[in-house]
Structure 1
Amino acid sequence: MLKKIQEDISLASRHIEVIRAVAGHQPIGIIKLSELLNVPQHRIRYSLRVLEGSGYIRASSAGAMVTPKAEEMFLRLNDDIDEIIRIVSRMKQV
């Protein structure tokens, strides 16, 4: 049961890593992101597709760029992660 949660958290971590890299190097393409993050291109492509579908990045002719939604996410990220940690900590106490 918890294996799926671990996989989801790992995937979310990669998506966050990708969006941070896009924000820091925009516009940026798949090959450059793959080299920068040392992640295979097919995984970068998947993360970009998910992030674009969720409205966090947009594609341009020069490469991926973050949207205002991504900038809002960055503002709340630490608080959101802290809340996840609190929930998981309560699970541990049960």
Structure 2
Amino acid sequence: MIDRLAKEVDMLERHLQVLKMVIESEPIGIVKMSNETGYPHHKVRYSLRVLEEENLIEPSSQGAITTEDTADFVEDLDGEIEEIMEKLEAMKIDSVPEAAE
């Protein structure tokens, strides 16, 4: 159960890293992103597809570029991550009762 969450967090981290690269270096292509991040091309391509579906980037003839929605997303991102972290913190189980002997 926790393994799936960890994999989702890793994938989200990759998506956000790719988005950050687009913001900082637009237009930017898959090969350059793959070379700079060390992620295989297919993983960068998948992240770009997810970001495009969320309307955070769009393709251009020179590479990926941001959209008009990108700035609002980035502005709200820290608050949303903080809310998720609070939920995760509340899920912690501090102790487990000892088994009866």
- The interval holding the TM-score normalised by the smaller chain is over 0.9
Larger-Rg structure: 2
TM-score when normalising by structure 2: 0.87
Q: Gaps (5+ residues) in structure 2?
A: 95-101
**Counterpart in the other structure of 1:65:** 65
Q: Which runs of 4+ in 1 moved over 2 A?
A: none
- Matching residue of 2:38: 38
Where structure 1 has 5 or more consecutive residues not aligned to the other structure, the ranges are none
TM-fit CA distance, 1:93: 4.1
Displacement of 1:5 in angstroms is 1.3
**Normalising by structure 1, what TM-score?**
0.93
1:11-90 matches, within 5 Å, as 11-90=11-90
* Amino-acid identity (%): 35
What's the RMSD between the two structures over aligned residues? 1.1
